[in-house]
Amino acid sequence: MEVFPTAFDLEIDRLDMNSDKWSKYPQEIIPMWVADMDFDSPDCIKAALKRRVDEGVYGYTHVSNALESAIQSHLMSHYGWQVSASSLVHLPGLVCALHLSVRAFSNQGDGVIVPGPVYYHLTKAPLLADRELINVDMVLQEDRWVPDMTMFEAACAKSNSKMILLCNPHNPGGTVYRKEELLAMHALAEKYNLLVVSDEIHCDLILDDLSHVPFASLNKEAANRTITLMAPSKTFNVAGLGYAFAVIENVTIKKAFNKEKNGLVPFPNMLGLTAATAAYEEGQEWHQALLKYLVGNRDFLQQYLASTPLKMSHLPATYLAWIDVSALQLSDPYTFFLEAGIGVSDGKDFGNSNYLRLNFGCPRSRLEEAVKRIEKALKKVQ
């Protein structure tokens, strides 16, 4: 069956949908901030949701064997990663799992290692729990953002260090970690006995011909000290349905995780479970078409930016361009873009105010309009 590429070209009006993304700014601003795409979800998800809604009874709902099997098949077929159904923990979102992992597996004053700039909940999780946030700088090496490994090792060696929060693929910057890089981090986690919490929410958004390697899939020892966090929400645009999952092979860690979770973290929403099942069982074709469309958007944006003083390192994954605006020497780059008519994410929120993050998960026509606005604004300062 042909998937229509034009489905991604459709400009859907989200103004009446109580969308976080679309309510933040006045209508004339193009919102390109939060990691939420402007595309319709695949037909298989919409049909499954309609069927479930039509059933009319919405009581407490448990996770089906079908969903667990679909997750297992997805992880095996995409990453060659075999996980047991008993290692799955179902969640209403991924962020709560970052925070609860920090609270369950460290004490006040313990060190939590976080390579950044990074999605802000990875740094917020230790700070809100009064842990020491041990930052490790991400540095550009051959146009790839990678942790400064000298700093990483020093962080691991600190006597109070308890865990590493990793974001793979990395947001922002889109790093798809290579196996040897993960092995190097794993060796340090072993040496200093650190838990690894690996946020892999963007793992199905690899734009280059690269493979995502789940940290826990490296070997038995890595699986034994890792909590992997994943979700269909970014890939299939179903963040509003509230579903994510953790893979925790180590029984003791899983027990402690559940102890912290139970009674506080609600069970995932029934419709989130329905959407996730449809996504992993039937969403393949749509997913492939999405990746192709996003590659087109990324290449279009990167090509345009190459003709300006703005620098965008190559983005191998995600739809979140990480743009260096330092050459413009602006006191407030975020407001400069806003005044140009584009609502991006301020790099300051991730840890570097010389950068902006631009979400290109939108129809090409909207991205073209954004580029026109950037072009116009740049003329004023050049």
Ligand X SMILES: Cc1ncc(COP(=O)(O)O)c(C=O)c1O
By CB under 6 A, name the binding residues for ligand X: 35, 93-95, 119, 167, 171, 199, 201, 231, 233, 239, 244
Tell me which residue has tokens 């020491």.
132
Give the residue with the Cβ less far from ligand X, 167 or 185: 167
Give the residue with the Cβ less far from ligand X, 226 or 340: 226
Using CA atoms, how far apart are residues 85 and 68, in angstroms rounded to an integer? 6
Question: What radius of gyration, in Å, describes the C-alpha atoms of the chain?
Answer: 21
Contact 188, 224 (CB under 8 A): no
> What DSSP string runs through 97-135?
HHHHHHHHH--TT-EEEEEES--THHHHHHHHTTPEEEE
Q: Minimum CB separation from ligand X for residue 275, in Å?
A: 13
Side-chain half-sphere exposure of 239, counting CA atoms within 13 A: 16
Q: What is the DSSP letter of 3?
A: P
Q: Minimum CB separation from ligand X for residue 108, in Å?
A: 24
Give the residue with the Cβ less far from ligand X, 23 or 193: 23
Using CA atoms, how far apart are residues 125 and 112, in angstroms rounded to an integer? 9
Give the residue with the Cβ less far from ligand X, 286 or 350: 350
Using CA atoms, how far apart are residues 268 and 119, in angstroms rounded to an integer? 23
Q: Minimum CB separation from ligand X for residue 233, in Å?
A: 5
Give the residue with the Cβ less far from ligand X, 124 or 158: 124
Give the residue with the Cβ less far from ligand X, 17 or 47: 17
Q: Minimum CB separation from ligand X for residue 226, in Å?
A: 16
Give the residue with the Cβ less far from ligand X, 222 or 241: 241
Give the residue with the Cβ less far from ligand X, 171 or 237: 171
Residue 173 dihedral angles phi and psi, to the nearest 5°: 115, -25
Q: What is the DSSP letter of 94?
A: S
Q: Minimum CB separation from ligand X for residue 192, in Å?
A: 24
Q: Minimum CB separation from ligand X for residue 291, in Å?
A: 17
Residue 203 dihedral angles phi and psi, to the nearest 5°: -70, -20
Q: Minimum CB separation from ligand X for residue 243, in Å?
A: 8
Contact 242, 87 (CB under 8 A): no
Contacts of 269-273 with C-beta under 8 Å, sequence gap 24+, read 269/92, 269/241, 269/242, 269/243, 270/52, 270/58, 270/61, 271/49, 271/52, 271/53, 271/241, 272/92, 272/238, 272/241, 272/242, 272/243, 273/61, 273/63, 273/64, 273/67, 273/90, 273/243
Q: Minimum CB separation from ligand X for residue 31, in Å?
A: 14
> What SS3 state is found at 140?
strand
